[in-house]
Amino acid sequence: MNRRDFVTGLGSLAASGVAVEALRVHGTADDAVNGFHVNANPVGVAQSNEAATGAGMTLGYLPRSAAFINTWSPSSEATVRERWGRSNVRAAVQILGFVAAAAPTIERIDITVNFALNEAPFFAPFYAWQYVDLPGQHVKSSSPLTFTASVPQAAGIAAAYRLKSAVSGVHASGSLYYQIGGSGLGPGIYGLAGPSAATGVAPDWNQITWGEKAGSLARNDGMAIDFDYVTLVVSPVHAAG
């Protein structure tokens, strides 16, 4: 099954009326002024089949990470440039790759970026990033990616996923959709994560922070991360310097 068929087959919001309406809606005056602000609780839309209820993939914001990704943060706050080897961040969004837990739960992720158009079909999908770990096959993962988008309501990001299953033909699957800017993703670091091995549900993002390696996450209590994840860094556009 190719990427387009998989995304469509999961009922991804990348190809649904929800994405179109999210990108067509006109922003308010407040959106125009505050279209790209720190948002610890981004508003998105989730779809899942019954098997994924309570145990699907979720998105979470890392507390204090907006200050971490900004190069103008106080000197006491480590920055992407200092700790993850990044120069001034030029891209609005960076997808830094997949990190598997000791017992991986995610079988497939497809990330699509929807750019708004002024006429039908009102959005143009860009198939941006993919991770595939099918039984009996070599794991495939896209390289880290960066892209830019005007905010708000000029682009949205959709992630279609499928979890591993011990039962043949039975898979938990679903999709997530978030606008970039506005009430969606603001500046900061976000994790797209599978369920925690300890609890079987979404990680407690208040206990998660950024790690020492580029794109890595860590726990505040020093314990090992027990879920699969993809790291997204969302930042204001900077000039190279």
In the chain, pLDDT over 90 holds for what percent of residues? 35
Which one, of 57, 65, 60, lies nearest residue 204 by Cα?
60
Say if residue 239's pLDDT is above 70. no
Confidence of residue 92 (pLDDT cuts 50, 70, 90): low
Contacts of residue 231, Cβ cutoff 8 Å, sequence gap at least 6: 95, 96, 97, 99, 189, 190, 191, 192, 215, 216, 217
Q: Which two tokens stand for residue 167?
A: 């039962």
Contacts of residue 107, Cβ cutoff 8 Å, sequence gap at least 6: 132, 133, 134, 162, 163, 164, 165, 171
* Domain ranges for the chain: 3-26+36-234
Confidence of residue 97 (pLDDT cuts 50, 70, 90): confident
Say if residue 19's pLDDT is above 60. no
Confidence of residue 186 (pLDDT cuts 50, 70, 90): confident
Q: How crowded is residue 88: how many other Cβ atoms within 10 Å of its Cβ?
A: 14
For residues 124 and 37, the model is more confident at: 124
Confidence of residue 169 (pLDDT cuts 50, 70, 90): low
